[in-house]
Amino acid sequence: MRWQVQEAKQKFSEVLRHAEEEGPQVVTRHGEEVAVVIDIREYRRLRGRQPEFRDFLLEQHEEPDDDFALEIESIVAARTADLPRQVDLGED
């Protein structure tokens, strides 16, 4: 079902009920799709279990040695200090 933003705000409980019972609810603004309300079970299914970045890197090596593990730890430490950055996708 599709909902305009104003209607979705006014009938939020109904939007949630429809998401639980009928599936994804699309929210539009000025005719453009801007959001989807989905049941939490569907969200969890779609999200799945995502390994931590560190664990993912370590799993790529059959038997990581201590030096490799220390290098991964330093990469992860540097990565967590970074702020999100803007990415230029070349779209205007």
Q: Tell me the average pLDDT across 76-86.
A: 66
- With cut-offs at 50, 70 and 90, classify the pLDDT of residue 5: very high
Q: Half-sphere exposure (CA, 13 Å, Cβ side) for 18?
A: 15
Percent helix / strand / coil, the chain, rounded to 5:
50, 15, 35
- With cut-offs at 50, 70 and 90, classify the pLDDT of residue 71: confident
pLDDT tens, 10-64? 999 999 999 999 999 999 999 999 999 999 888 888 888 777 777 777 676 666 5
- Identify the residue with better confidence: 35 or 68: 35
Phi then psi for residue 51, to 5 deg, are -65, 150
